[in-house]
Chain A
């Protein structure tokens, strides 16, 4: 990092915050503050939806996923376009027609107050925890890379977001996200191009593509039906459909985005273009990880991508052991590079027999290297108990810091900060909207002026932001936090989706049946969590089905009781 990088980084972030504040000042009523006066065109809605979904960890982790595991993660998104169509047909016209501020408001129209409050409560539990991780995860990586204190990093990100979200509400979230996503994609594509340009001169784009294919990284489609395999086309289409219906149809952080569209048409087009663009965007991000993988076939990567851990192990007194491992690593890398060069030549010469031979050599060298990396990780665990030695999320950012020219390093750090800020902004806005509209205005202080509720929303935003920062600083003490947050998410998402699917599609279900169905479904999920070993990703589908089945049973029993005896 030099002065140019710092100027680019803080110049970009400062401009975004200033733009957000200046462009959206003076939102005086609820519709202006929580729905952006319903004035946004479809492209802003679309970019805002995409920026909300893509958090900083998406960019850091997905490129690492492409680097280590190839392209198969793409299948996770295959259900998304289908979900966009279903929601465009059903949810969008309904929410617009009822002029709701939040998705949960609709539940009172369809069922009653208690079902609305229950769904809002489930959402606040789910999103309240995850906003903490949205800020914690990138702060951990950025503070490690920049050598900053993690608590001050979370305070910096949180404060920047708070300034424009408190000031301009939903509109500020959406208009800044438009530019944040533009910066993010520009930075990402530039990084991919630089990784490619830095390859040896004789390697063309097609050669790099074929090389990735021969090393098994272009594993985009897996047709086998296997419940234990997280990424195959079936889990992507079916599981992904459920997940994205839930996320885009019942999660206020997304519903709030398309409710700010100026008409049903603008909201629908926003969702439709998200359905068209999302998979290619993920393809590009994964492919950048793949380009970094090809690059590191010819240039030596560090033994552990989170290089700060190396320094800490040395400081802990294991310098001799680290140097011994690195000396071995130098030798193994030369062996691997020779095999990689041989494979590339065989690909360029279209020599099938040589390709097979060189692939085998490369595989063996790769295996040796992996063993050595595992030795290094074990050393980290031994010398630094409590430190996570997994370094997949550091692959991309380490590449950026080591190989990008100055100026671009600053831009790429702005990319990571922007991604963290854009997701956090939507989440804070959604938490504030739901707390104000569904809890405070509906059940605690009804009938007050619009100005009062706008002020309340601003305070709720500040409150949730402080909560996120405090959660992130406490999270620092916890182990395996991302796993924990995923579990917490899965504990509530299925039940929320079940309530909404009942409301949208099962007209025979009434409020009491759905309310009690949702309560008992949540108890089932909590039982599964505490007393069984059922994989937590399945909670989404189990919770959803349990709400519908239980509500149907309760409805049937209720109807039978009401029927007069003959």
Chain B
């Protein structure tokens, strides 16, 4: 029976990998914003 059930995936902040990817994502978003400011203004 358990084989038929879909495994529940952990919410992103329950895993450390989730936290690390979040930091990287925030970093990338910041870099994009800073590039946009530099080259637009």
Q: Known contacts A81-B23, A84-B23, A272-B19; is A280 also within 8 Å of B41 by CB? A: no
Q: Known contacts A213-B41, A220-B37; is A85 also within 8 Å of B30 by CB? A: no
Per-residue interface assignment for chain B, residues 24 to 35, with 1 indicating a CB less than 8 Å from any chain A CB and 0 otherwise: 101100110011
Within 8 A of A (CB), among B12-28: 16, 19-20, 22-24, 26-27
Contact of B38 among A78, A82, A209, A221 (CB under 8 A): A221
- Evaluate contact between B16 and A268: CB separation under 8 angstroms: yes
**What 5 new A-B contacts, CB under 8 Å, besides A221-B38, A221-B39?**
A74-B34, A82-B27, A209-B41, A218-B37, A279-B27
Measured CB to CB, the residues of B under 8 A from A are 16, 19-20, 22-24, 26-27, 30-31, 34-35, 37-41
> CB-nearest residue of chain A relative to B20?
A85
- Evaluate contact between A218 and B24: CB separation under 8 angstroms: no
| Docked CA distance A482–B20 (Å) | 35
- Evaluate contact between B34 and A220: CB separation under 8 angstroms: yes
Q: Could you write out 18 A-B pairs with CB less than 8 Å apart? A: A81-B23, A88-B20, A89-B20, A209-B41, A212-B41, A213-B40, A214-B41, A218-B38, A220-B35, A220-B37, A221-B35, A272-B20, A272-B23, A275-B23, A276-B22, A276-B23, A276-B26, A280-B30
Residues on the B chain within 8 Å of A58, using CB: none
Q: Known contacts A81-B23, A280-B30; is A88 also within 8 Å of B37 by CB? A: no
Cβ of A406 within 8 Å of any chain B Cβ, yes or no, is no
Measured CB to CB, the residues of A under 8 A from B are 74, 78, 81-82, 84-85, 88-89, 209-210, 212-214, 218-221, 233, 268-269, 272, 275-276, 279-280
| Docked CA distance A221–B37 (Å) | 9
Minimum C-beta distance from B16 to chain A (A): 7
> CB-nearest residue of chain B relative to A268?
B16
Residues on the A chain within 8 Å of B37, using CB: 213, 218, 220
Residues on the A chain within 8 Å of B19, using CB: 88, 268-269, 272
> CB-nearest residue of chain B relative to A93?
B16
- Evaluate contact between B41 and A218: CB separation under 8 angstroms: yes
- Evaluate contact between A221 and B31: CB separation under 8 angstroms: yes
| Docked CA distance A61–B24 (Å) | 28
| Docked CA distance A85–B27 (Å) | 12
> CB-nearest residue of chain A relative to B32?
A221
Residues on the B chain within 8 Å of A82, using CB: 27
Contact of A220 among B16, B22, B24, B38 (CB under 8 A): B38
| Docked CA distance A85–B31 (Å) | 17
Minimum C-beta distance from B33 to chain A (A): 9
Sort A-B residue pairs by CB-CB distance and give the 5 closest, nearest first.
Answer: A213-B41, A220-B34, A221-B38, A220-B38, A81-B27
Residues on the B chain within 8 Å of A233, using CB: 31
Residues on the B chain within 8 Å of A279, using CB: 27, 30
Minimum C-beta distance from B20 to chain A (A): 5
Q: Known contacts A85-B20, A210-B41, A268-B16; is A221 also within 8 Å of B34 by CB? A: yes
Minimum C-beta distance from B5 to chain A (A): 29
Minimum C-beta distance from B28 to chain A (A): 10
Minimum C-beta distance from B1 to chain A (A): 34
- Evaluate contact between A85 and B23: CB separation under 8 angstroms: yes
Minimum C-beta distance from A521 to chain B (A): 31
Minimum C-beta distance from B12 to chain A (A): 13
Residues on the A chain within 8 Å of B27, using CB: 78, 81-82, 275, 279
- Evaluate contact between A81 and B41: CB separation under 8 angstroms: no
